[in-house]
Structure 1
C-alpha cells in the first residue's frame, strides 16, 4: 500500500463536482493511443471528456478542463483538417458554460479555467467566459505554442481561446510552489485544498489536479488529464498488482461472459500480459503510450502516478475514463464522498472488461491445454 498522501501537507477540503461535458469521441483506434495491442481490443470505448468544477470554501471557483469545443470543426487548420479526415466520430451537445448556467452557476463566477493541456478535446470554449476568467496553462506553453493561429498559420492553438484574458503559465517556481513527492506542485488557494501537479510527457505543459475532498482522513481526487487514456496504462503496477481473483461485482459483464459467477481469476489477465511480453505480468501495466510529445517522459510520469494510484485515499480519474458511467455521480452532485461510496474500489479493475475477447481466448486455451486458471 502506497502512502502518497503522507507527502501532502495538511490542508482544508474543497468541493469537487465531475461535469459530463457532453463530448463524445467514437471509432478511435486503440493503436493511436497505446501499445502493444490486445487481441480483440481494437477500438477505444466511446469516450467523453470529464470537466471538474472546484469550489473553494470562500466561493471561489475554477474549472479543470472543458471538453471538446462545440466549434471543433473550426479549430486551427492543422488540427481541424486532421480531425475531419481520420474517421473518428466527434460530437458535443453543449458548451460547459451552458451546463453550468442550467444549474444557476454564472460564467462570471468562474475565476479561472485550467487546461490540463492544450489538445483539442480538452480546451472547450473559453471565449464563452468573460474576460475576467483567467486561463491557466502549464510550463513551456507560451514558448512552444505562441504566437497562435491565425497570426501563426501553422499553429495548433487559436488566439480566440485566450485573447482578451489573462493567460497565466504555472512554472512551479512561484511562491506557492512546493514538492508533493514525487511531483512538483503548486498550491492554488494557498491552503492545501487544491494543487496543480507537474505531469509532463504527453504534451507540453501537461498539468494534473489534486483536490482534497475530506479531512480525517485526508482523501483526494487526482485529476489526471491525458496522463493516461485507459486504466491499462496505469495498472497493474508494483504497488497495485493484479489480484489473484477479482470479484464479479467489480467486472460483472466480463465474469458473466466467462461463465464465472463469483470471481474471475487474475491469472487470465496475467496471461494476456505475458503473451505480449509485458512482464512481470502481475505488476506491469497492459499498455504504454503510443502517442505524446515525449513518450519516455510520459512513461516516467505514469510511474510516478502509480504511487498516488495505489493509495486507498486517492481516487485517480483520467479525462476520458469511460468506466465512470454507471458508478460515479455527476454534476450538479458532489464527488467528495467518493470514498464512503466505494467508487474507487468499484472502478479499479473495471477496465478489464475491455479485454473480453482476449480473456475468452485465454480461458479456452487453458482448457484445451488441460490447465487450471
Structure 2
C-alpha cells in the first residue's frame, strides 16, 4: 500500500559501531532527455512538443554515472555497487543499441580501469568479492562484471531474473545480454527474495513473479537469498548485508525489476543522529529536482513516457528516499545526480580517480550539493 509523504513513519536505524569505507567513482556520463524525467510542476501535464520539438533537438541534461567501491572495515573485504556503461557500445543488445543509444548519448568509462589506475593492491578488480547491482539497465551493469571482475559474485535485487533472463541472443528482443547472468553455474549469482505472502499483503504486483519465473526457467543457477527483512527509516524492507549493521540493502521498487539501494554507515556514534550514512540511490531519481518533489516525475497521463516501469510505485520510493535526504546525517547520492560532483569538486564535469566519502560531513559536501540544488 502506498503511503502519502505525511503518513510515512521513521523506523530507527539499528545502532552499531561497525562501518564501511566508501569510495565514489565516476564511470562516465549520459545525456538524458528532460521530457522523460520531469514535469513542469506536480502532476502538471507536459507540452507534447517537448518530446518532439519542431527543430528536432530534444532538450537534454548531462548526468554523471556513479559507481561505488565499498570496503567492509571489519574484514577488509571489497565490494562494488554498480559498474556504469560498457565501453564497447556496439556489443550491447540490439534493442538497446538500435533504439536507446539514439536517445541517450553515452560517455562510458570503466570503473575497472579507474581501480587499476588509482586503486591500491587490495582495491583491484580481482579482489572484489561481489558486485552489487542496483538493477540491470545497461548504464549500471557495465560489461556484466567481466574485465577483471570475473571472480566476483553477482548480487541482485528481488525479481531481477524475471527481467534479465533469458537475455540476448536467446531472446532477440531482450534488453540484457544472456552472458550477464550465465545459466551454466560459472558465476555465483544471488538474488534476494521477498516471500509472496509479504508482497500480497502489501498489494505489490511482484507477488508470484519469482514462482512464475522458475516455471519459465529463469532461475537456473541462481541462489535465492531469504534475508531477515526489517523496516528501516522510511522503507518497509531492508536487510543487514554483512550482519553487523555497517550496511543495508533496501528494496526500492518502481524504476525497474530488482531495483535496490544501499545504505552504508560511514561513521558510528552513540545514537543514529551521531552516526553518518551514505545512501546509494541508484535510479530512484534521475534529477535532484525530482527528489525535492517526486510528483514532478514524468509519467502518464501527464507525459507520454517516463523512466520507470511502475511510475506510481517509483514516486512512492522517491518519497521514502526524500525522508532520508532530509536527515542531516544521511547523504543520498543518486547514480545520475550532477550536484554531487559539483559539491565535491566545483566546476568539474568529471571526477577523476577514487574519492573517499567517509568524511563527507566534515568536508561539507552534502551542504555544498544542497546549495547547488537550492534545497
TM bin (shorter chain): 0.7 to 0.9
Residue in 2 that maps onto 1:260: none
Seen in structure 2, the aligned counterparts of structure 1 residues 170 and 349 have a Cα distance that, compared at 3 Å, is farther
Give me the whole-angstrom Cα distance separating, in 2, the residues matched to 1:83 and 1:106.
32
Give me the whole-angstrom Cα distance separating, in 2, the residues matched to 1:188 and 1:324.
25
Give me the whole-angstrom Cα distance separating, in 2, the residues matched to 1:182 and 1:348.
21
Residue in 2 that maps onto 1:122: 140
Residue in 2 that maps onto 1:224: 281
SS of corresponding position for 1:320: coil
Question: What TM-score, normalized to structure 1?
Answer: 0.74
SS of corresponding position for 1:147: coil
The counterpart of 1:192, out of the listed 240, 245, 259, is 245
Aligned-residue CA RMSD in angstroms?
Answer: 2.6
Give me the whole-angstrom Cα distance separating, in 1, the residues matched to 2:335 and 2:250.
15
Q: Tell me by how many angstroms 1:129 deviates.
A: 3.3
Give me the whole-angstrom Cα distance separating, in 1, the residues matched to 2:319 and 2:298.
11
The counterpart of 1:20, out of the listed 10, 26, 29, is 26
CA radius of gyration, larger in = 1
Q: What whole-Å deviation, never above 9, does each CA across 1:109-133 have from its counterpart, x for those lacking one?
A: 1011111111111111212234430
The counterpart of 2:12, out of the listed 7, 11, 31, is 7
Seen in structure 2, the aligned counterparts of structure 1 residues 130 and 310 have a Cα distance that, compared at 3 Å, is closer
Aligned length: 300
Task: Indicate conservation of the 8 Å contact 1:127/1:160, yes or no.
Answer: no
Task: Indicate conservation of the 8 Å contact 2:126/2:151, yes or no.
Answer: yes
1:294 aligns with 2:310: yes
1:135 aligns with 2:187: no
Residue in 2 that maps onto 1:34: 38
The counterpart of 1:312, out of the listed 328, 331, 348, is 328
Q: Map of 1:319-334 to 2, 5 A cutoff?
A: 319-328=335-344, 331-334=353-356
Give me the whole-angstrom Cα distance separating, in 1, the residues matched to 2:102 and 2:295.
31
Q: Unaligned stretches of 5+ in structure 2?
A: 1-5, 51-57, 196-225, 300-305, 346-350
Give me the whole-angstrom Cα distance separating, in 1, the residues matched to 2:276 and 2:10.
8
Seen in structure 2, the aligned counterparts of structure 1 residues 311 and 13 have a Cα distance that, compared at 3 Å, is same
Task: Indicate conservation of the 8 Å contact 2:343/2:372, yes or no.
Answer: no
Question: What TM-score, normalized to structure 2?
Answer: 0.74
Q: Unaligned stretches of 5+ in structure 1?
A: 237-283, 354-373
The counterpart of 1:101, out of the listed 95, 109, 116, is 116
Task: Indicate conservation of the 8 Å contact 1:20/1:48, yes or no.
Answer: yes
1:50 aligns with 2:66: yes
Give me the whole-angstrom Cα distance separating, in 1, the residues matched to 2:92 and 2:112.
19
1:85 aligns with 2:102: yes
Bigger mean CA deviation after superposition, 107-116 or 141-150: 141-150
Q: What whole-Å deviation, never above 9, does each CA across 1:73-118 have from its counterpart, x for those lacking one?
A: 21111111113433x43222x4211111112332221011111111
